[in-house]
């Protein structure tokens, strides 16, 4: 009664091993592998995006520092004051683009732009020529930079780091230094202005430069913490405390694959028993 025997497993072509897996099980195995590949690809893309963000921030801070050096060199000569102002204007644009506009923090913006309006109101009568146009534009960008440097700290939400705090202090000191230059040049004489301007200016640039350290450290932490998981590790690491987690675990690829294998074995055994009872 050879026709009553269970069909022997097929051999895989080109190998000496028997193919003991059922059709649905093989399909789920392939789909589970594809899911792992998609997850690893997504993790790699996120790492690249994080890396691009980190180095974009660093490059923009570096470009801001370079244009600040150019502005310092041009301000040595009084005839190039407008050119130096333009170099610092470009530096502020790079700083603003590095700090970004999230979180927005409308309260800090209100304070900064109120101070900007007061400063322009006091300094405009003493300006002349191209400075009458360049000074308000530069003041607007300067206070925008201060707004973004302060807003990114988020002191009350416990999302700040010491280097973000340094960039915040650096932005404020930058505004103090440039305000002293403006008031000393166009409003009234400030005692010991040269010493105060240089101390606050270099302290400001140091604080802004230190913010790059925080960006690099965050990227390295993300690389160290993010590790791709295999399909089996995901199944074994899922929690079983809540009913929702248990339902999610039951739907995992390895549990579904095991369920299909058990069901196929049971169906084969029932078929053999029924055929034996018939004959």
User: What pLDDT is attached to residue 66?
Assistant: 98
pLDDT of residue 206: 96
Q: Does residue 180 sit within a domain?
A: yes
CA distance 256 to 187: 78
What's the pLDDT at 53?
A: 62
pLDDT, tens only, 154-186:
877 777 788 899 999 999 999 999 999 999 999
Please, which residues have CB within 8 angstroms of residue 146's CB and are 6 or more apart in sequence? Answer: 112, 171, 172, 174, 175
Is residue 142 a contact partner of residue 173, using CB atoms and an 8 Å limit?
no
pLDDT value, residue 40: 62
Tell me, what's the pLDDT at 159?
73
With CA atoms as reference, report the closest residue to 171 among 120, 106, 111. 111
The string of pLDDT tens digits covering residues 174-232 is 999 999 999 999 999 999 999 999 999 999 999 999 999 866 555 555 455 444 444 44
The predicted structure's pLDDT at residue 31: 53
115 domain-assigned: yes
Kindly state whether residue 103 falls inside one of the protein's structural domains.
yes
Enclosing domain of residue 183: 41-225
Strands 10-11 and 18-19 come out as: antiparallel
- Which strand (E) or helix (H) includes residue 223? helix 193-225
pLDDT at residue 33 is higher than 80: no
Number of domains in the chain: 1
- Asked if residue 144 belongs to a domain, the reply is yes
Q: What is the pLDDT of residues 222-272, one digit of tens each?
A: 455 444 444 445 544 444 444 444 444 545 455 544 454 555 556 556 656
Q: Percent of the chain scored above 70 by pLDDT? A: 57
Residue 151 lies in a domain: yes
Q: Please tell me the predicted confidence (pLDDT) of residue 137.
A: 96
Percent of the chain whose pLDDT exceeds 90: 50
Q: Is the pLDDT of residue 143 over 60?
A: yes
Please say if the pLDDT value at position 101 is more than 70: yes
Looking at the predicted structure, is the pLDDT value of residue 140 above 90? yes
234 in any annotated domain: no
Q: Tell which wins on pLDDT, 130 or 261.
A: 130
Would you say residue 119 lies in a domain?
yes
Summarize pLDDT for 35-84 with one digit per residue, the tens: 556 656 655 655 555 556 668 999 999 999 999 999 999 999 988 999 99
| Cβ atoms within 10 Å of 8's Cβ, excluding its own | 7
Q: Is residue 264 part of a domain?
A: no
């Amino acid at each position: 009664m050879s026709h009553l025997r269970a069909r022997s497993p097929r051999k895989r072509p080109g190998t000496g091993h028997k193919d003991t897996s059922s059709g649905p099980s093989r399909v789920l195995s392939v789909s589970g592998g594809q899911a792992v590949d998609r997850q690893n690809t997504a993790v790699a893309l996120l790492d690249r995006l994080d890396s691009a963000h980190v180095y974009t921030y660093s490059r923009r801070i570096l470009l801001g520092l370079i244009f600040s050096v150019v502005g310092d060199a041009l301000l040595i000569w009084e005839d190039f004051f407008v050119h130096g102002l333009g170099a610092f204007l470009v530096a502020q644009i790079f700083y603003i683009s590095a700090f970004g506009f999230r979180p927005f923090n409308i309260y800090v913006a209100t304070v900064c732009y109120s101070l900007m309006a007061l400063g322009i109101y006091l300094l405009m009568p003493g300006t002349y020529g191209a400075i009458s146009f360049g000074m308000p534009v530069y003041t607007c960008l300067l206070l925008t930079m201060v707004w973004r440097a302060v807003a990114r700290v988020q002191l009350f939400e416990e999302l700040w780091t010491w280097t973000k705090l340094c960039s915040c202090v650096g932005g404020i000191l930058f505004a103090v230094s440039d305000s002293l230059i403006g008031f000393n040049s166009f409003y009234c004489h400030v005692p010991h202005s040269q010493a105060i301007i240089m101390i606050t200016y270099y302290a400001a640039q140091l604080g802004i430069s230190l913010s790059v350290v925080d960006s690099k450290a965050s990227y390295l932490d993300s690389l160290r913490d993010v590790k791709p998981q295999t399909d089996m590790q995901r199944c074994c690491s899922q929690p079983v405390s809540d009913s929702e987690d248990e339902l999610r675990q039951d739907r995992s690829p390895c549990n579904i694959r095991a369920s299909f294998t058990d069901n196929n074995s049971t169906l084969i055994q029932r078929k053999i028993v029924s055929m034996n009872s018939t004959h």
